[in-house]
Amino acid sequence: MDLWTTILVFGSLTPAIISAIVGSMKGRGFTGFLLGLFLSWIGFIITLCLSNERAREERHVEMMSAVGGYKMTRVRCPHCRALVDENAKFCPECGGAMT
């Protein structure tokens, strides 16, 4: 392996692959790969600093279910087994009382 091949492998391919692995754990594998490829180890450091997209999505889902609180809470109708809002007095499917 000559000098330039060594520089190419350790200066570009290695950080690209490692950045892709770190990036994929954050849901940004391709971004990490490109950063590592073009910016070498600096790109890898940037990938480490990237916000965790996947965790943000999970927080978003948690937030939405917290906001939509009671709408998300559903119970089964004792008469027809339909999913009904737990605050409902009567089942919208069969009209049975929700007790």
50: which DSSP letter?
Answer: S
Residue in the block written with tokens 């910016």? 39
Q: Which residues here bind Zn ion, judged by CB under 5 A?
A: 77, 79-80, 82, 91, 93-94, 96
Smallest gap from residue 90 Cβ to Zn ion (A): 8
Smallest gap from residue 80 Cβ to Zn ion (A): 3
Nearer to Zn ion, 56 or 74 (CB): 74
User: 45, 44, 63, 66: which is closest to 55 by C-alpha?
Assistant: 63
Smallest gap from residue 68 Cβ to Zn ion (A): 22
Specify the amino acid at residue 38: F
Provide the β-strand partners of residue 6: none
Nearer to Zn ion, 11 or 78 (CB): 78
29: which DSSP letter?
Answer: H
